[in-house]
């Protein structure tokens, strides 16, 4: 995971300054400890003065063995609700360093969010800066970005084809990295893809639904029951609760995100009412939602990415090649990022 400027020993809030530690396994233990602590305290109110965690970024500086909202960092503005939590931009009171923070109730905290995220290091994935427990909450700190693709779609109605393909290629690059690190995201959608200031670079975030995969690419999590992620972007094998769920589920969701960028609305929702699970499981893939005016190469990306049978569905790498081809066929990225508003596609 890299250097951590502060590793909090144990769960009793005692802090020992360590010049260097490999936070990986420690981070995993810490998160498991937090979860165990929750189980032990189930029903009790966690003492408000509990304050332990891991900080990986030197610009975030604990004071007197603590790092607390108000005392050590201040909320700047509310951003939106990531999975299970409210997101704010915050600032370190001493270094004035600005970063993102998501506050999650302990009982909603999944140690996978930190475990999987801290295993990733890619220009296409937002950097995790740390995790702190503050009483009944866990607070995740990350590199602050300039908004999300979801916010850009709301501003622009729908995105130009070249921009949508440009973003899709980058999301597929992130999925290639996740596959290499055996991580399933399970909530790929425009709201969880963040943008650089100039809007040309994207960063995957919010690993609140993520799971580890085994060598064969199958999820290691036993929890088949609770349906996670965003309904409109769920792959058929996920809504059917099939035991074999793997990286192809994120590929399906990335194509739902492509349709969302191109049409300005989530797939399925113009044709069906919720709950959508049965339709996703039983209906053909939403290929009729491919915009009629898009390039045949873009249509091809969606057709091979929305194969209902995971084994027939393209891998992230294969789909990235096709999406890059489609982007070249439409002349590469030439549209302005923050351009004109385009009405979302209406049903014909
Ligand atoms: O999982 C997290 C852990 C720590 C964070 F600070 C944020 C998130 N999750 C999300 N952040 C955003 C977002 C951030 C910044 N600008 C626009 C959107 C959308 S979902």
Residue 44 has pLDDT above 90, yes or no: no
Q: Is the CB of 187 under 6 A from ligand 1?
A: no
Residue 242's φ and ψ, nearest 5 degrees, are: -65, 145
Q: What local confidence, expressed as pLDDT, does residue 8 receive?
A: 37
For position 24, what pLDDT does the model report? 46
- Does residue 66 have a pLDDT over 50? yes
Complex ipTM above 0.90? yes
Q: Is the CB of 178 under 6 A from ligand 1?
A: no
Which pLDDT belongs to residue 82?
A: 57
Q: Is the CB of 87 under 6 A from ligand 1?
A: yes
The DSSP string of 175-200 is HHHHHHTTEE----SGGGEEE-TTSS
pLDDT confidence band for 22 (50 / 70 / 90)? very low
Percent of the chain at pLDDT exceeding 70: 84
Q: Contact, 300 vs 322, CB < 8 A?
A: yes
Of the pLDDT bands very low, low, confident and very high (cuts 50, 70, 90), residue 100 is very high
From 79, 87, 183, the mutation candidate for ligand 1 (largest count of ligand atoms within 8 A of CB) is 87
pLDDT of amino acid 14: 33
CA-nearest residue, atom 12 of ligand 1: 82
Ligand 1 atom showing the smallest separation from residue 144 Cα: 15
Mean pLDDT, residues 42-53: 66
Of residues 24 and 336, more confidence is placed in 336
Among the residues of the chain, which ranges form H helices? 23-41, 111-117, 149-156, 161-180, 236-239, 248-263, 277-282, 296-305, 316-329
- Among 170, 300, 188, 204, which residue's Cα sits nearest to residue 238? 188
Give the closest residue to 16 by CA, choosing from 26, 25, 24: 26
Adjacent-strand bridge partners of 52: 133
> What pLDDT, on a 0 to 100 scale, did the predictor assign at position 25?
46
Does residue 127 carry a pLDDT above 80?
yes
Any catalytic annotation for residue 214? Answer: no
Distance CA 206, CA 183 (A): 13
Checking if the pLDDT of 20 tops 50, the result is no
Query: How many CB atoms are located within 10 Å of the residue 81 CB?
Result: 11
Percent of the chain with pLDDT over 90: 72
Task: Identify the DSSP state of 63.
Answer: B
Ligand 1 near 147 CB (within 6 A)? yes
* 92, 187, 206, 250: the active-site residue: 187
CB distance 128 to ligand 1 below 6 Å:
no
Ligand 1 close to Cβ of residue 238 (< 6 A)? no
pLDDT at 43: 53
Over residues 180-196, the mean pLDDT reads: 96
Q: Is residue 96 pLDDT above 90, yes or no? A: yes
Q: Indicate the pTM of the whole model.
A: 0.88
- 60 neighbors 53 (Cβ within 8 angstroms): no
Higher pLDDT among residues 65 and 98, named by residue: 98
| Interatomic CA distance for residues 85 and 66, integer angstroms | 22
- Which DSSP state fits 86? E
For the chain, helix (H) and strand (E) counts, in that order, are 9, 11
Q: Of the given ranges (27-41, 57-71, 140-154, 288-302), which has the lowest mean pLDDT? A: 27-41
User: Taking a C-beta distance cutoff of 8 angstroms, is the pair 38, 119 a contact?
Assistant: no
Q: What is the mean pLDDT of the chain?
A: 87
pLDDT at 28: 53
- Quick one: pLDDT at residue 345? 80
266 lines ligand 1 (CB under 6 A): no
**pLDDT at position 15:** 34
Q: What is the Å distance from ligand 1's center to 179 Cα?
A: 22
For residue 7, the cross-strand partners are 16, 54
DSSP 314-330: PPHHHHHHHHHHHHHHT
Cα 267 to ligand 1 centroid, rounded to whole Å: 23
Mutate to test the pocket of ligand 1, among 55, 75, 102, 185 (most ligand atoms within 8 A of CB): 102
Query: What are the structure tokens assigned to 124, written together?
Result: 């296409």
Cβ neighbors of 328 (< 8 A, separation 6 or more) are none
CB distance 90 to ligand 1 below 6 Å: no
Q: What is the pLDDT of residues 197-249, one digit of tens each?
A: 999 999 999 998 999 999 888 888 866 656 678 999 999 999 998 878 899 99
Residue 38: pLDDT above 70? no
Q: Which of these ranges, 127-136, 177-186, 327-336, 339-348, has the smallest mean pLDDT?
A: 339-348
**pLDDT tens-digit series, residues 258-268:** 999 999 999 99
Q: Which pLDDT score is estimated for 50?
A: 80
How many alpha carbons lie under 13 Å from residue 325 in its C-beta half-sphere?
A: 12
Residue identifier of the C-alpha nearest atom 4 of ligand 1: 102
Asked if residue 305 has pLDDT above 70, the reply is yes
Tell me which long-range contacts 299-307 makes (C-beta under 8 A, separation of at least 24).
300/326, 301/165, 301/168, 301/255, 301/258, 301/326, 302/255, 302/258, 302/259, 305/251, 305/252, 305/254, 305/255, 305/258, 306/252, 306/255, 306/256
Predicted confidence band of residue 48 (pLDDT cuts 50, 70, 90): low
User: In this structure, are residues 330 and 165 in contact, taking their beta carbons and an 8 Å threshold?
Assistant: yes
């Amino acid at each position: 995971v890299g250097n951590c400027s502060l590793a909090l020993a144990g769960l009793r809030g005692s802090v020992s300054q360590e010049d260097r530690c490999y936070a990986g396994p420690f981070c995993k233990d810490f998160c498991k400890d937090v979860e165990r602590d929750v189980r032990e305290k189930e029903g009790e109110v966690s003492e408000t003065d509990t304050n332990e965690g891991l900080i990986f970024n030197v610009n975030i500086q604990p004071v007197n063995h603590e790092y607390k909202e108000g005392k050590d960092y201040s909320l700047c503005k509310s951003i939106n609700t990531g999975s299970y939590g409210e997101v704010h931009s915050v600032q370190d009171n001493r270094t004035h360093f600005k970063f993102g923070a998501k506050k999650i109730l302990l009982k909603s905290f999944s140690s996978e969010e930190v475990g999987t995220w801290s295993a990733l290091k890619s220009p296409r994935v937002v950097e995790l800066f740390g995790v702190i427990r503050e009483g009944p909450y866990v607070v995740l700190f990350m590199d602050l970005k300039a908004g999300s693709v979801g916010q850009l779609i709301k501003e622009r109605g729908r995105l130009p084809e070249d921009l949508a393909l440009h973003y899709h290629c980058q999301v597929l690059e992130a999925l290639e990295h996740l596959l290499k690190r055996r991580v399933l995201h399970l909530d790929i959608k425009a709201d969880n893809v963040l943008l650089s200031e100039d809007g040309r670079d994207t960063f995957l975030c919010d690993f609140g639904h993520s799971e580890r995969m085994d060598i064969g690419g199958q999820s290691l999590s036993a929890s088949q029951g609770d349906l996670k992620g965003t309904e409109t972007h769920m792959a058929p094998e996920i809504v059917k609760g099939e035991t074999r769920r793997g990286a192809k589920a994120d590929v399906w969701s990335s194509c739902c995100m492509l349709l969302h960028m191109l049409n300005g609305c989530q797939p399925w929702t113009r044709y069906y009412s919720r709950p959508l699970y049965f339709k996703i499981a039983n209906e053909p893939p939403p290929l009729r939602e491919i915009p009629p005016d898009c390039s045949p190469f873009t249509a091809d990306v969606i057709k091979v990415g929305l194969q209902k049978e995971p084994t027939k569905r393209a891998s992230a790498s294969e789909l990235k090649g096709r999406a890059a081809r489609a982007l070249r066929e439409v002349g590469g990225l030439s549209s302005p990022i923050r351009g004109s508003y385009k009405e979302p596609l209406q049903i014909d």
